[in-house]
Chains A and B, each alone.
Chain A
């Protein structure tokens, strides 16, 4: 008989606290996305159908560039958080599960960097 308590066996092994962190940041980004996505839809309606000159002038304004970067980064973080849960729930093949989880993280970071670089290029008039 082991004298070790069940707690001693569990501590440090599970995903204690990480689950909450994941849940918490999904909510934080969700709340941020309420105004950000409303702004984004309004902006798309403003810019859609206009030519390149109009769109660049619009994006070159510091406020628009700032909020757009905030929207894209927050949205990508929120999306990868949600997709992660969907993959964890439905993909039961171990290697595929891990591959998809990694692919989603890498894709999110790649898209984040590409978006920021693109916005900065327009803002700085490259």
Chain B
């Protein structure tokens, strides 16, 4: 590539804009999606341990009992709630609904509150079920 081509101006990119709710929610949607993809590995390991037998399953469960694992599980829990709620928001946009700027901001806030509430509800049930988060 010649030096003239290299010096060509770049169009404004992410770092030039001040953060807005809309752009942040979009970035987080991608982030949670990527993070959730790593969770698929955990699901495969879970099913593998289940098929392997009781010993492997106990081992898997003790791995999950580690506080760090619980933190990751909490992260996956929130990511799933967020990606699910925001994904539904995207599906509405795909059929052309709710695209006015005021509607986009309103649905963004509603989505955020809903995903936090869902996360809290799931954690509540999980704690009740297993008798203690950590």
Question: Which residues of A come within 8 Å of B, CB atoms?
Answer: 27, 30-31, 33-34, 37-38, 41, 45, 48-49, 51-53, 55-56, 59, 68, 72, 75-76, 79-80, 82-83, 86, 111, 114-115, 117-119, 121-122, 126
**Size category of the binding interface on chain B:** 20 to 34
CB pair A118–B54 under 8 Å, yes or no, is no
CB nearest to B38 among chain A residues: A79
Q: Could you tell me the distance between the alpha carbons of A45 and B127 in the complex, rounded to whole angstroms? A: 10
CB pair A52–B54 under 8 Å, yes or no, is yes
Contacts of B84 in A (CB 8 A): 33-34, 37-38
Contacts of B43 in A (CB 8 A): 72, 75, 115
**Could you say which of B41, B51, B94 has the most chain A C-beta atoms within 10 Å of its C-beta?**
B51
Contacts of A121 in B (CB 8 A): 51
CB pair A117–B51 under 8 Å, yes or no, is yes
Q: From residue B99, how far is it (CB to closest CB) to chain A in Å?
A: 16
Q: Could you tell me the distance between the alpha carbons of A122 and B40 in the complex, rounded to whole angstroms? A: 19
Given contacts A45-B122, A72-B43, A122-B51, contact A82 B88 (CB under 8 A): no
CB nearest to A126 among chain B residues: B51
Question: Which residues of B come within 8 Å of A, CB atoms?
Answer: 30, 33-34, 36-37, 40-41, 43-44, 47-48, 50-51, 53-54, 57-58, 77, 80, 84, 87-88, 90-91, 94, 122, 125-126, 129-130
CB pair A48–B129 under 8 Å, yes or no, is yes
14 contacts between A and B (CB under 8 A): A31-B91, A45-B125, A48-B126, A59-B50, A79-B33, A79-B36, A79-B37, A82-B33, A82-B37, A83-B33, A86-B33, A118-B48, A118-B51, A122-B51
CB nearest to B55 among chain A residues: A52
Q: Could you tell me the distance between the alpha carbons of A49 and B125 in the complex, rounded to whole angstroms? A: 12
Contacts of A41 in B (CB 8 A): 77, 80, 122
